[in-house]
């Protein structure tokens, strides 16, 4: 299906060098709506919603917002650290507002899985169901993310 004018604007903003140096689509050759639909189907199989995942990501980010060095042990098994950097990023979907440059790393000590996300990732997952394209530096595989956050 041919992208709408709005989708074309979104895709343009997702290109390398527009909002971020590497962009949001990586090496993924699928259309943007296919990337989102495929991740939604995977979430459905996993029994989770994008909103649940984003809420859990935000929970861990807030718990570790003021962490230093090794971070915080949260809920007895999640080692979490958030590093905050100067600057803010806009949403490539055109959402109003900007998102602080912050990088949260979580290690689930029970299963050994580690994941890293940005504040913008949390927003794009919760509001747009977008986990970034495969090959993007901040692509989050829904299955790994669910296992790291909920197991």
Tens-binned pLDDT, residue by residue, of the chain (151 aa): 688 889 999 999 999 999 999 999 999 999 999 999 999 999 999 999 999 999 999 999 999 988 777 799 999 999 999 998 999 999 999 988 899 999 999 999 999 999 999 999 999 999 999 999 999 999 999 999 999 999 9
Residue 69: Cβ-neighbour burial (10 angstroms; 0-12, 13-18, 19+): exposed
Residue 22: which residues within 8 A CB-CB, separation 6 or more? 16, 136, 137
Contact indicator for 24, 132 with CB cutoff of 8 Å = yes
For residue 83, which phi and psi values (nearest 5 degrees)? -105, 130
Residue 46: which residues within 8 A CB-CB, separation 6 or more? 142, 143, 146
Beta strand ranges found along the chain (DSSP E): 72-74, 78-90, 98-108, 114-118
Strand order in the sheet with 72-74: 72-74, 78-90, 98-108, 114-118
Q: d(Cα 25, Cα 115) in Å, to the nearest integer?
A: 18
- The predicted model scores a pTM of 0.94
Matching residue, tokens 């998102």: 99
- At residue 73, the pLDDT reads 94
Matching residue, tokens 């958030």: 82
């Amino acid at each position: 299906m041919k992208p709408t004018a709005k989708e074309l604007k979104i895709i343009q903003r997702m290109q390398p060098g527009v909002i971020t140096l590497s962009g949001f689509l990586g090496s993924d050759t699928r259309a943007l709506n296919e990337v989102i639909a495929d991740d939604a189907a995977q979430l459905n199989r996993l029994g989770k919603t994008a909103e649940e995942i984003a809420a859990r990501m935000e929970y861990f980010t807030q718990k570790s917002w003021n962490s230093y060095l090794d971070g915080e042990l949260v809920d007895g098994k999640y080692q979490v650290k958030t590093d905050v950097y100067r600057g803010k990023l806009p949403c490539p979907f055109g959402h109003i507002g900007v998102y602080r440059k912050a990088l949260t790393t979580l290690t689930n000590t029970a299963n050994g899985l580690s994941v890293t996300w940005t504040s913008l990732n949390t927003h794009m997952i919760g509001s747009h169901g977008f986990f970034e394209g495969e090959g993007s530096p901040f692509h989050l595989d829904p299955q790994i993310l669910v296992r790291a956050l909920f197991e």
